[in-house]
Amino acid sequence: MRKRIRRRRESRKQNILQKNAEQKQKAHAKGASISSDIEPNLVYFETLLGKERSSDLNVRRFTIQYTTERKAGLIYMDGLSFCPGIDEFLLEPLMLMGRTLDVKKDLMESVMNSLLQHGEVKPTDNMEKLVDSLLSGDVLVFVDGYPEGIVVGLKGALRRGVGEPRAEAVVRGSREGFVEAMRINTALVRWRLRDPDLRMVGLTVGKRTKTPATLAYIEGVADPNLVLEVEKRIQAIKIDGILESGYIEEMIQDNKWSVFPVIQNTERPDSVVAHLLEGKVAIIVEGTPNALIAPAVFTQFYYSPDDYYDRYLIATFMRFIRLISFLISLSLPALYIAFISFHPEMIPPKLSLAAAAGRATVPFPSIVEALLMELSVEILREASIRLPGPIGPTIGIVGALVIGDAAVSAGLVSPLMVIVVGLTTISSYATPSYSAAISVRLLRFPMMIVAGIFGLYGVVMLYLLILLHLIKLRSFDVPYLAPYTPLRLSDLKDSLIRVPWPYMNQRPAIFRTSNIQREEDVKSDGQQQQ
Amino acid sequence: MGNNNNDPGTEGTISNYQVHTLLFSALVGVSVLMMPRNIVIASRTDSEWVIFISGFIVLLFVWLIGALMKKFPRQNIIQFAQSMVGKKNQRIMARILTLPFALALAGLWLWMASIVTRSFGEVLVSFVLPQTPIGVLMFSIIFVAAIVVSNPLVIIVRMTEFLLPFIYITLPLLVAGLLQEGSALNLLPLFQADWKEVANGVFSSLLSYSGFSILFIYMAFYQQPEKSMRTHTITIMVCTLFFWFAIVTSIGAFGSAEIFHLLYPPLELVKVTSFPGQVLDRLESLFIAIWMLAVFTTIILFFGSTVEVVMSYVPFKEKRRGWVTFLLAPIFYILAQYPSNLQELALWSQWAGIAEIIITLLFVAIFFIVWAVRERKKGEDNATTSPS
């Protein structure tokens, strides 16, 4: 019985697929080249998109009052195009002003010249291009008797306005963040970088989504080899869909299995401009506010844009704070385990005694205690992200304070452990880059496990292995731990210490920039840049 | 456009600063912990200047190796030995003739690596992890070292480059110990030792410098071999100062008589030191944690050069490096387990130091002679052929 149902379902599926394929094939056979008759063209689009089953496809047939009535058609996707504009700038002139045209001139030319009142008007006889433009929001116009279609760039999908970046807040600096529309994003970059050498290469990724992406770089500053390599890798991507820049990031990065991010993502246009000026490239993808920056080195994930806006001393101090918080978030729970279980003599005797007293009622070994607490903190953190806006922080406070306090008074965990976990969690938030913070969060767990087995010795061994991995890692042929190893003294000006701007008169050399001078930047045409 | 000629990131080469870190890491290792005792037993307070004599002798060795290696740029000792012996059609002959060299060097370095590992294992067991069997500790060191060594030598050198600054952190710890416990009277008297005592001191401290012979391998990767002499000289001087510092702080704190009874004087010094405010009550765990880095870099450098000898003797493909490493690792482990007690280990380490000096001198002599003979022959050939 069940078998029969399954078989019937299967045959129905086959039938539908076959019918669709046949229809499409018929349409293709007819419409592969644009007919000079208008009706087949319109029908082609209707079958290609499935007229009855795509409610947002809009095909409008009308007439132009020329010498005689000439049939014409207009196709657009409802919602992707700017509808009031279609009525006002396209349909109104086309329908009403036909009679005013000079009869001696060619109709097509006249339509292009005086009836389509929009800046971006392109005729084309390439059917594929027409389909792509239609699906990206352009309006197509066909006129009977001419075997070509006109693409009018009246894209106008509704978009979120430019807002404050959510994940990368700064105290001082621009409040603008990228949005989902790529064009707005490229404009945000170009508005900050009025350099004729800024290049924005248009690329398309994804067989089905056909996502537009922009590869931005400054000619004469970025290494040409780097630009070629990035472009090559993006073009080599074979995938059906790109929904976020993360897809591209994983497709083009060097070591695909690494825990550490080797391409930076940012929501800040000012940050993109700063990196472009250092000779890197940026990839801006349609549909996401996260732009990619490549190549990236380890330390740059710990730099925030305000490091460059605030005074140098504050910036340097903040970088030290971040280094400390990096070390704490990576190894404090592991050190707790090591000290409690292996080396109680290393901490001051009073602290050691207090820790032992706190642990007197705890029924677990310190490793279990630490893993338990770290896991519950991770759960809390995940929950507070998923919870709807106003509840999130509340749950965080309830979880951390109430559960933590209850666990301590119930004697399940020691008070010291709660301090350690709290400090660790807060430290991991001090990292400006979310993706780098996550990788450290992950590495904390193996760290705790080796500390439970080998104590301090295991922690050092794991640090060595992580170091080995970091040393081997490369991002577009830039060593990940540069400028520390290989050591580059000139680049240490902007490392843990940031020297004042007048002394950072050179671009970092590790990115192999074509023009190292930042201060006296003489452009290739000999013109002195201000 | 770029200044890529002098780019430290250039694949497969060792920059001048990396030369410094590599040589320093090879020489400064577990030996610093034991050397003050050995040299003080031999020449007492006079060790404070005797160490400079042995530093100078080591400098001579390094100069010799450098002079030889400069004649064969971009080739390590095994590679140029093979190319010296045979022309292209005599490969088997070349293999047979260079076998003793390869065996001697690979054996020596693996032996030295195992001694360092064992010595440090003993330190760990007696100070940090008293309940862990030493076998487990050595196994984990060797395992991690093997993972590192499965990578090209340049990666190993970059490890040392990154870790070197941490080793310098131990200096302030020693100073703190000296300030708390030291007394200037302990450092005196000077110039009391007779010639025999001085010679003994030089000899015993010379053995602590063991490791300079790995230049036979690493010099093949130098970016600027012609400038290496200066870097080598500076590095040996820095190392000597480091050793001198360890000796002076130990003698200053304990006096030469007491050092006789201490196995690891610098470690004991750090042990009695405490930071004001009792932040870290006993510093020796921190000191050992940092020192682990120094020892680890020594181990990976020795082990790495062993693997490199095998790799260039039998020209394996690069991707076989991991196999070679993990095949050698058990031998490494067995060698490290072999000495039955500390006494025997000390004896071994002495023998290894002597063997290194002999092998270095012998090889430099042999290759210089062969090289000179060949040059002369070449000169004669040119002389006979050019007129015709």
Residues near A305 by beta carbon (within 8 Å), at least 6 away in sequence = A168, A170, A173, A268, A270, A271, A274
A329 and A468 housed in the same domain: yes
Q: Which long-range contacts (CB under 8 A, 24 or more apart) does A414-417 make?
A: A414/A355, A414/A358, A414/A359, A414/A362, A414/A369, A415/A358, A416/A336, A416/A354, A416/A355, A416/A358, A416/A359, A417/A336, A417/A366, A417/A369, A417/A370, A417/A373
B12 touching chain A per CB within 8 A: no
DSSP A28-56: HHHHSS--SSHHHHHHHHHHHHTGGG-TT
Whether residues B128 and A455 touch (CB distance < 8 A) is answered with yes
3-class DSSP state for residue A212? strand
Residue with tokens 């979880």, as numbered in its chain: A399
- Residue A79: is its pLDDT beyond 70? yes
CA-based nearest residue in chain A for residue B142? A461
Q: What b/e sequence results for A62-99 when a residue is b if at least 16 CB atoms lie within 10 Å of its CB, and e otherwise?
A: eebebeeebbbbbbbbeebbbeebbeebbbebbeeebe
Asked whether the beta carbons of A523 and A310 are under 8 A apart, the reply is no
3-class DSSP state for residue A340? helix
A339 and A449 housed in the same domain: yes
Mutate to test the interface with A, among B137, B158, B298 (most CBs of A within 10 A): B158
Stretch A331-353: mean pLDDT, rounded? Answer: 86
Residues near B19 by beta carbon (within 8 Å), at least 6 away in sequence = B218, B222, B228, B231, B232, B235
Q: What is the CA radius of gyration of chain A?
A: 31
Rank B104-108, B187-191, B254-258, B259-263 by mean pLDDT and report only the highest: B104-108
A342 and A384 housed in the same domain: yes
A471 and A330 housed in the same domain: yes
In this prediction, residue A529 has a pLDDT band, given cuts at 50, 70 and 90, of: very low
- Residue B334: is its pLDDT beyond 90? yes
- List the single residue in B3, B7, B161 with the smallest CB-CB distance to A485: B161
Residues of A in contact with B281 (CB under 8 A): 345-349
- List the single residue in B128, B159, B278 with the smallest CB-CB distance to A343: B128
Q: Which residue has the higher pLDDT, A411 or A526?
A: A411
In this prediction, residue B384 has a pLDDT band, given cuts at 50, 70 and 90, of: low
A455 touching chain B per CB within 8 A: yes
CA-based nearest residue in chain A for residue B120? A457
A146 and A75 housed in the same domain: yes
DSSP bridge partners of A478: A475
Q: Which residue has the higher pLDDT, B10 or B309?
A: B309
Stretch B17-40: mean pLDDT, rounded? Answer: 87
CB atoms within 10 A of CB A381: 16
Select from 1.20.1250.20, 3.40.50.150, 1.10.4190.10, 1.20.1740.10 the CATH code of B13-361: 1.20.1740.10
Least confident of A101-115, A274-288, B222-236, B358-372: A101-115
Stretch A519-523: mean pLDDT, rounded? Answer: 61
- List the single residue in A348, A459, A484 with the smallest CB-CB distance to B162: A484
Smallest Cα distance from B204 to chain A, Å:
30
Whether residue A468 lies inside any domain: the answer is yes
Question: How many whole angstroms separate alpha carbon B247 and alpha carbon B4?
Answer: 43
- List the single residue in B2, B159, B285 with the smallest CB-CB distance to A514: B2
Q: Six-digit token pair at A144?
A: 């009977």
- Residue B172: is its pLDDT beyond 60? yes
A496 touching chain B per CB within 8 A: no
3-class DSSP state for residue A58? strand
Cα A447 to Cα A329, A367, A467, distances in angstroms: 11, 11, 13
pLDDT the model gives residue A528: 45
Least confident of A159-163, A375-379, B380-384: B380-384
DSSP B205-218: HHHHTTTGGGHHHH
Please report which helix (H) or strand (E) contains residue A264, including its range.
strand A264-266
Residue with tokens 């965080």, as numbered in its chain: A396
Q: What does pLDDT average to over chain B?
A: 84
Whether residue A18 lies inside any domain: the answer is no
How many whole angstroms from its chain centre is CA A106?
Answer: 47
pLDDT the model gives residue B3: 37
CA-based nearest residue in chain B for residue A348? B281
Interface of B with A in 267-296 (CB under 8 A): 278-282, 285-286, 289, 292-293, 296
Question: How many whole angstroms separate alpha carbon A312 and alpha carbon A109?
Answer: 61
- Residue A316: is its pLDDT beyond 50? yes
Question: How many whole angstroms separate alpha carbon A508 and alpha carbon A33?
Answer: 53
Whether residue A492 lies inside any domain: the answer is no
Interface of A with B in 307-326 (CB under 8 A): none
The one-letter code for the residue type at A124 is: T
A411 and A472 housed in the same domain: yes
Whether residues B2 and A513 touch (CB distance < 8 A) is answered with yes
DSSP state of A498: B
Least confident of A93-102, A246-255, A288-297, B151-160: A93-102
Whether residue A292 lies inside any domain: the answer is yes
pTM: 0.87
A56 and A133 housed in the same domain: yes
Q: Name the residue range of residue A349's domain.
A: 308-479
pLDDT the model gives residue A444: 92
pLDDT the model gives residue A46: 85
A278 touching chain B per CB within 8 A: no
In this prediction, residue A268 has a pLDDT band, given cuts at 50, 70 and 90, of: very high
A48 and A103 housed in the same domain: yes
Residue with tokens 């493909």, as numbered in its chain: B317
Whether residues B162 and A514 touch (CB distance < 8 A) is answered with no
Which of A245, A275, A296 terminates a domain? The answer is: A296
Residues in chain A: 530
- Residue A523: is its pLDDT beyond 70? no
Residues of B in contact with A478 (CB under 8 A): 9
User: How many domains are there within chain A?
Assistant: 3
- Residue A492: is its pLDDT beyond 80? yes
pLDDT the model gives residue A267: 92
- Residue A77: is its pLDDT beyond 80? yes
Peptide bond between residue A333 and the one before it cis (omega within 30 degrees of 0)? no
DSSP state of A125: -
Q: What does pLDDT average to over chain A?
A: 86
| Percent of chain A surpassing pLDDT 70 | 96
Q: Six-digit token pair at A388?
A: 């709807």
- List the single residue in B8, B132, B144 with the smallest CB-CB distance to A486: B8
CA-based nearest residue in chain B for residue A456? B289
In this prediction, residue B385 has a pLDDT band, given cuts at 50, 70 and 90, of: low
Question: How many whole angstroms separate alpha carbon B44 and alpha carbon B37?
Answer: 9
Whether residue A172 lies inside any domain: the answer is no
Q: What b/e sequence results for B274-294 when a residue is b if at least 16 CB atoms lie within 10 Å of its CB, and e otherwise?
A: beeeeeebbbbbbbbbbbbbb
Chain segment B44-57, per-residue pLDDT in tens: 778 788 889 899 99
A354 touching chain B per CB within 8 A: no
pLDDT the model gives residue B277: 59
- Residue B280: is its pLDDT beyond 70? no
A146 and A187 housed in the same domain: no
pLDDT the model gives residue B9: 45
Domain limits, chain B: 13-361
In this prediction, residue A31 has a pLDDT band, given cuts at 50, 70 and 90, of: low
| Percent of chain B surpassing pLDDT 70 | 92
pLDDT the model gives residue A154: 85
